[in-house]
Structure 1
Amino acid sequence: INGVSTSIQTFKRELEIAGHEVYLIAPSYPEPMVDNDTILRIESRGVALDPEDRMMKYRKLINQLPQLREKGFDLVHINTPFVAHYAGLTLARKLDIPCITTYHTLFEEYLYHYIPWIPKSVLRWAARSFSVSQCQALDGIITPSSIIASLLQQYGISNPIVTIPTGIDVSDFESGNGDKFRDSLGIEPHKKLLLNVSRVAYEKNIGRLLEVAQDLLKKSRDIHLVIAGEGPAKQSYIQQARDMGIADHVSFIGYLDRSTDLIDCYHSADLFVFSSKTETQGLVLLEAMAAGTPVVAIAEMGTKEVLQDGLGVKITDGTVSDFSAKIVEVLDQPDLHNTLSESAKLYAKDWDSSRLSARMAEYYVSITAQYPRELGSHA
C-alpha cells in the first residue's frame, strides 16, 4: 500500500463513519481482494515501468458508466491521473456534477527516473503541461500541503486550489509488538534498528539511506537498516547494498499488513529514517511518530509542513555526514530519544483523520453548491 491508497482508504473510512456514502472505483489485481459493495473493481493491466501497480482498462471503465449513473452521485473525486482522470471527468460531465482531484504526486520530479534518456528539462515541461491540462479541466484541486498548492499556481493553474492533508487515526499505531517483529527478522535486541517505510522507487532517494548505513557501519555503529515496501527499484537497491558490502546489515522486507505487521514494524525501530525529497505530504512520518518512534529526516517539499525540528524529529540537511551525525546524536542520548518519542506521539495527534475528513466533507459541500441540483450524500 502506498501513500495515495492510504489517503483514499483513510478518507473513505472517516467519511463513511460520518454518514456519507462513498464509492471507490479501482483497478483489479491478480491477488484476491477483500472488498464490499461500495468498491467496484475494473479489469486492469500491468504497468511496464512499475510492475506492482495496475492501470484500469479505459473501455472497461467506460462500459460501467450506465450502471454508475444510477447511483445518484453528487460528486466525483479523482485520486490518480491517466485512465481514472479521464473516465471520472467523463462521468461527472454526463451527470452534471462537479469533478475534483487530489494532486498526490509531484510528477516533474519522478519521470526522469524512469525515462532518463530524455533530457530532464523536457520531462519537467511535459509533466507540468500534463498537470495543467488535467487540473484546468476540473472544478477544484486539493493538495496535501500548501507548498504543492503554490507550485501548481506557479504552473499557471487558475482553478481553485485548497490544502487538505491526509490525517491518521493515532489509536491505530499506539500499540505494537516490536520485539516479536525483530525476532521475525532475526535482528538481535542490542542492534539499533533504523526503519524506512516507503515505496521502493528511485525518487524516494533510498540510496542515500544505504550510504548513511555504510557510513555508520564504518564507524563501528551496530545498526541494521530495514526497508519496508515494494517498488520498481527494489532489486537495484538490493544489488547496491551488496556492492557496498552492507547487505548483511540491510533488510528489504516488502509490503506489510497495515493492521498488524506494519504497526509492529514501527514499534520495533529505534529510529525512523526518511530521505525522500519529492513528497507531497509524507504520511509515514506521522505514522512513525504516532507509534512513538523518533524521526531523522530531510525536510523538503511537502514534508516541510509535517516536520518541525524537535517535535519528534531531528531534521538533517541530507548529506551523509549530517544524516549520520543526527542519527548518532539521538541514539547516544537516551534522554533526547525519550523526549523525541513523547513529543512525536503528542504531535501526531494534531493530524487527526476525523478532523481532516470533516474539512474534506465541508469542501465537498462548497463544491456541490455550485451545481443547482438536489444533493444526496454520495461521493
Structure 2
Amino acid sequence: MHGIYLSALAVIRQSWTQDSLFVSCHKSQNNMPQRRRPSLNSPLSDQEVAALTQLANGNALHLQRKAEREARLASTLTLHSAASTTETPLSGMKILMISDVYFPRVNGVSTSIASFRSALERLGHTVMLICPDYPVGQVDEPGVLRIRSRQVPGDPEDRMMRYRDLIALAPQLAAEAFDLIHVHTPFTAHYAGVALGRRLGLPVVATYHTLFEEYVHHYIRWLPRRWLRLAARRLSVRQCQQLDALVAPSRAMQEALTRYGVTTPSTVIPTGLSLESFCHPQGTQDDSDFRAHYDLPTDARLLLYVGRAAFEKNIDFLIDMLPKVLAEHPNTRLIITGEGPAHDWLVRRAQEVGVAESVLFLGYLNRSGPLQAAYRAADVFVFASRTETQGLVLLEAMALGTPVVSTAMMGTLDVLKEGEGCLIAEDNHDDFTTKVNCLLSDEDLRQQLAESAQVYAASWHEDAKSAELMSLYRRLAAERLANTRK
C-alpha cells in the first residue's frame, strides 16, 4: 500500500506530462523542424499517400463510432425523456472500467468491481475492464483486458500499470465506441482514465473506495501523521475535481469528501451482494466438514473475521478482547481469514496477549466454497474496523445466516441495523465482549438474528444497486451528448 501511495507522485508528474501532449501536440508541431515540399504542385510520394490514407481512414472510423454513440444516446433521450431514476435503466450501454487492482488481488475494490460488472451485464450492458496482470493466480475472464505491470517496491501484493501503456490503447478504445469511463482506483487508472476521457470525449466517473487519510499513516510511519493526512486530502481533492461525477459507497464517505472541499457531484451507491453466486449451496462444505478439516472440536464456539490482515482493519482489537470471551466460554476460537502486511504482527500480538492457542490464521480462502463454509460454521461474525468504506463482509456473513457483532463506524453505519442480523457494539472491549458473550450464551437469540440476517441481506441484492449506478451512467451520458450539441 505505501509503495503505491508514494509512487502515485511519480504517476501524477507523468500524467501531467502525457496529458499536455494530447492538448498541445498540434501547437508543438509548429516548433518542430519540418521538411518542406519544393512546390505545392509536386506529386505526393507513395509514403505520403499511404500516411494520408491511414489518417483519413482512422478519422473516418472515429467519426463513425462517435456518430453511432450519439445516435444511441439520442434514442435514449427520446425513449426516456420523462424517466425517473427508479425506472428500468437503459439497455445497451458500453462501459469502460479501469482499475489498478482486480482478482486475484483480494480486497473490497476487486469484489465491488466483480459485483457491478456481472450485474450490469445481466441488465443488458457491455462492460470492459482494464486492470493489471498478476504473475500468480490470474484467471482469464471475458471482457477483462490485462495490462503488463510491475511490482510496487515494498508492496508484494499490488501491481503498477504503466501510464503510457494505457494511453496507447486510445485508438483501440475509440473503435469500441464506449459511452462512459468508470475509474475505481486513484493511481495509474485515475490519470489514464481522465486523459482517455478527454481524448475520446467521454464522461469520467470514479468510485472513491478508500479513505486514504485514515490508512496512509499505517504504512508511512516515519512522517508525521498530520502531514500524511493533509497530503492525502489534497491529493483526493485534486483528483476528484478532475471528474464528471463521483460514487461514494457510503454516506460517511460522501460526507468526508464534502469536508475536504470536493465540489464534483457525488452519489451514494453501495456495492450490492451477489446472492445467487456467493450463497449457492453447491460445492460448499457443511459445518462438520469445516471443523474436521481444521481439527476444530465439534463443541468449540467459533468467532470469525474475514478480510485483509491489515493494520487499519483493527484486528488487534478482536485479539485483545478475546481473553474476556474465553473467561466465560473457554472453548472459543477466533478464526482470522485473509492475508496482508499485518499478519506477522497479529501473530505476535496473540502471543503477547496469551491467546495464541485460541487464534487460528487461515489465510485467503476461496470464495466459491471454503470461505462460505467458514461463514456457515461460525457462531458469530466479529468486526471492528474504524475506517471501513462499506463492510461488504458483514452482508456476506448475514446472507449465510451468521449473526454479527460489530462496531458501527464510517461505512458500516450504513450497513448495520441493530437487531437486523446483528448486535452493534461500542468501540471498547467491555461492550464488545458483552455482546459476543450474550450471543454465545443465548442460542434462541442467535437463531433469531441468523434468520433476520438472511432477510436483511437479501435487500442488498447487487441488481438493485447496479440499477442505481446505471441511472447515474445514463444521466452523465445524456449530459455529455447535450453539451456536444450546443
* TM-score band w.r.t. shorter chain: over 0.9
SS of alignment partner, residue 362 of structure 2: strand
Q: Distance in 2 between matches of 1:349 and 1:13?
A: 17
Shift of 1:184: 1.4
Is 1:231–2:337 an aligned residue pair?
no
1:332 aligned residue (441, 464, 470) = 441
Q: C-alpha deviations, 1:132-191, integer Å up to 9, x for none?
A: 000000000000111211111111101100011111022332634232122211111111
Q: C-alpha deviations, 1:173-219, integer Å up to 9, x for none?
A: 26342321222111111111100001110000000011112332245
Q: Distance in 1 between matches of 2:246 and 2:329?
A: 49
Q: Letter of the 1:355 partner, please give it.
A: A
Q: Distance in 2 between matches of 1:130 and 1:46?
A: 23
**Percent identity between the aligned chains?**
47
1:191 aligned residue (300, 312, 319) = 300
Aligned match of 1:370: 479
Shift of 1:220: 5.1
Is 1:217–2:320 an aligned residue pair?
no
Contact 2:207-2:248 at 8 Å conserved across structures: yes
Aligned match of 1:353: 462
SS of alignment partner, residue 230 of structure 1: coil
Aligned match of 1:23: 128
Q: Distance in 2 between matches of 1:61 and 1:251?
A: 42
Q: Distance in 2 between matches of 1:80 and 1:214?
A: 39
Q: Distance in 2 between matches of 1:307 and 1:328?
A: 19
Shift of 1:130: 0.7
Q: Letter of the 1:345 partner, please give it.
A: Q
Q: Distance in 2 between matches of 1:55 and 1:188?
A: 44
SS of alignment partner, residue 53 of structure 1: strand
Q: Distance in 2 between matches of 1:239 and 1:263?
A: 28
Shift of 1:34: 1.8
Is 1:101–2:210 an aligned residue pair?
no
SS of alignment partner, residue 225 of structure 1: strand
SS of alignment partner, residue 438 of structure 2: helix
Aligned match of 2:226: 121
Aligned match of 2:391: 282
Aligned match of 1:68: 173
Alignment of 1:121-270 (within 5 A): 121-171=226-276, 172-173=278-279, 175=281, 176=284, 177-219=286-328, 221-270=330-379
Shift of 1:90: 1.1
Q: Distance in 1 between matches of 2:460 and 2:142?
A: 29
Aligned match of 1:45: 150
Shift of 1:35: 1.8
Contact 2:210-2:389 at 8 Å conserved across structures: yes
Contact 1:178-1:266 at 8 Å conserved across structures: no
Contact 2:328-2:437 at 8 Å conserved across structures: no
Q: Distance in 2 between matches of 1:30 and 1:247?
A: 33
CA pair 49-325 structure 1, distance change in 2 beyond 3 A: farther
Gapped regions of structure 1 (runs ≥ 5): 375-379
Shift of 1:79: 0.5
Shift of 1:123: 1.1
SS of alignment partner, residue 319 of structure 2: helix
Q: Distance in 2 between matches of 1:331 and 1:36?
A: 42
Q: Distance in 2 between matches of 1:71 and 1:305?
A: 37
Bigger Cα displacement from structure 2, 131-140 vs 250-259: 250-259
Shift of 1:32: 4.2
Q: TM-score, normalised by structure 2?
A: 0.75
CA pair 67-350 structure 1, distance change in 2 beyond 3 A: same
Q: Distance in 1 between matches of 2:414 and 2:434?
A: 23
Q: Letter of the 1:173 partner, please give it.
A: C
How many residues align? The count is 375
Instruction: Report the structure number with the largest CA radius of gyration.
Output: 2
Aligned match of 2:41: none
SS of alignment partner, residue 176 of structure 2: coil
Aligned match of 1:377: none
Q: Distance in 1 between matches of 2:355 and 2:329?
A: 12
Q: Distance in 1 between matches of 2:429 and 2:137?
A: 42
Shift of 1:49: 4.2
SS of alignment partner, residue 351 of structure 1: coil
SS of alignment partner, residue 301 of structure 1: coil
Shift of 1:246: 1.7
Is 1:300–2:409 an aligned residue pair?
yes
Higher relative contact order (CA 8 A, sep 6+): 1
Contact 1:49-1:114 at 8 Å conserved across structures: no
CA pair 372-272 structure 1, distance change in 2 beyond 3 A: same
Q: Distance in 2 between matches of 1:146 and 1:224?
A: 34
Q: Distance in 2 between matches of 1:53 and 1:326?
A: 36
SS of alignment partner, residue 51 of structure 1: strand
Contact 1:50-1:231 at 8 Å conserved across structures: no
Q: Distance in 2 between matches of 1:174 and 1:300?
A: 30
Shift of 1:18: 0.9
Contact 1:10-1:166 at 8 Å conserved across structures: yes
Shift of 1:241: 1.4
SS of alignment partner, residue 157 of structure 2: coil
Contact 1:174-1:290 at 8 Å conserved across structures: no
Is 1:90–2:195 an aligned residue pair?
yes
SS of alignment partner, residue 329 of structure 1: helix
Contact 1:52-1:230 at 8 Å conserved across structures: no
Aligned match of 1:79: 184
Q: Distance in 2 between matches of 1:219 and 1:332?
A: 9
